[in-house]
């Protein structure tokens, strides 16, 4: 078999997200109805993730057929070649991907500006505003904020379920793991250590006399830097781009997602979900491991 379709159950406690033999059987029958030859279902985790190997139809056809069968069920679908599905390079966005929220928005709460800054963030992440201009604007609004509030904001940060397990499992299997963010070093360095990334790349606040000056260091880490870093790290490690996995949620992640061997929009913004090569709308971040063929009993906790 040349290709594989992976079905991954959503994490919400909703019966519509159930994944079972009957549903997998319906998907398999739909693929067969298109002329596919399919292998026996291979459960990577009972009731949670299942592989269906197939031949004779395209991955796009298999994806579309599976989604038609699933309808509104909260089950993710990823179709890809079997060869090379286990990736050796990971680039991951931080805000709303590896962590549940937007760290700059969390910081803005301490200036009484969370609503205003969150609105700008949302538009920038959906590609409605220039990322660099929007970042400069938001940071400028925080001028005069005490440096100590960074620690306060950090105390509110939560890792996305499955984030640490995903990174540790990939690192343990030999992948080089990079946290790359349009956010700030104060947060990325801590998230790097919590999850086990090998390195983190991000922006920096300019701080003077214990206060934010409202200025971000230049040049700003933007979507082009994310894509170029993916290409550069692959070359440095002697890897093809097909050996890479990239994950993010915002418009500034899209070039990176489109360049990677497997580019996944995780709970992506509307414009990103449409344009990303693959997406996880319902699973937690361990879905990225199932997509690579890892079995649940091989996860590094």
Residue pair 231/241 in contact (Cβ under 8 Å)? The answer is: yes
User: What is the maximal distance between C-alpha atoms in the chain?
Assistant: 69
**DSSP conformation class of 283:** S
Marked catalytic residue, from 42, 51, 63, 95: 95
Name the residue among 286, 213, 211, 220 with its Cα closest to residue 247. 286
| CA distances (Å), origin 282, targets 40, 80, 265, 286, 298 | 25, 19, 11, 11, 22
Q: What angle (nearest 5°) sits at the alpha carbon of residue 245, between those of residues 230 and 294?
A: 155
Marked catalytic residue, from 51, 93, 200, 243: 93
Q: How many C-alpha atoms does 204 have within 13 Å on its Cβ side? A: 8
The contacts of residue 184 (CB under 8 Å, 6+ apart) are 103, 104, 202, 203, 204, 205
- List, as one string, the DSSP characters of 30-93: HHHHTT-EE---EEEETTTEEEEEEESS-HHHHHHHHHHHHTT--EEEEEEESTT-S-SEEEE-
| CA distances (Å), origin 204, targets 25, 109, 186, 300 | 51, 19, 8, 32
Two tokens, residue 242: 């097909």
Look up 130 and say whether it is catalytic: no
Residue pair 79/59 in contact (Cβ under 8 Å)? The answer is: yes
Look up 209 and say whether it is catalytic: no
Cα(14)–Cα(55) distance, integer angstroms: 33
Two tokens, residue 1: 């078999």
Cα(182)–Cα(131) distance, integer angstroms: 9
Give the three-class secondary structure for 278.
Answer: strand
Annotated catalytic residues are: 93, 95
């Amino acid at each position: 078999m040349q290709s594989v379709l992976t079905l991954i159950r959503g994490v919400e406690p909703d019966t519509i997200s159930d994944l079972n033999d009957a549903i997998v059987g319906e998907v398999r029958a739909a693929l067969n109805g298109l002329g596919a030859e399919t292998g026996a279902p291979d459960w990577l985790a009972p009731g949670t993730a299942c592989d269906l190997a197939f031949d004779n139809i395209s991955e796009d056809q298999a994806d579309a057929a599976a989604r038609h069968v699933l309808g509104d069920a909260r089950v993710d679908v990823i179709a890809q070649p079997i060869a090379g599905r286990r990736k050796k390079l990971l680039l991951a966005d931080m805000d709303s991907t590896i962590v549940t929220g937007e760290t700059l928005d969390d910081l803005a709460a301490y200036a009484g500006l969370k609503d205003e800054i969150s609105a700008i963030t949302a538009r920038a992440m959906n590609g409605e505003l220039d990322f660099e201009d929007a970042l400069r604007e938001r940071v400028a609004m925080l001028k005069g904020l005490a440096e100590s509030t960074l620690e306060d904001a950090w105390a509110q940060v939560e890792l996305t379920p499955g984030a640490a397990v995903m990174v540790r499992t990939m690192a343990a299997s030999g992948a080089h793991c990079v946290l790359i963010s349009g956010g700030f070093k104060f947060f990325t360095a801590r998230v790097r250590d919590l999850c086990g990334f090998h390195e983190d790349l991000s922006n920096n606040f300019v701080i003077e006399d214990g206060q934010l000056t409202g200025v971000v260091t230049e040049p700003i880490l933007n979507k082009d830097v994310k894509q170029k870093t993916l290409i550069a790290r692959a070359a440095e490690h002697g890897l093809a781009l097909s050996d890479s996995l990239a994950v993010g949620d915002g418009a500034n992640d899209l070039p990176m997602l489109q360049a990677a061997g497997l580019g996944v929009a995780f709970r992506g913004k509307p414009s990103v979900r449409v344009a990303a090569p693959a997406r996880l709308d319902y699973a937690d971040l361990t879905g990225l491991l199932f997509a690579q063929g890892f079995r649940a009993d091989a996860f590094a906790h």
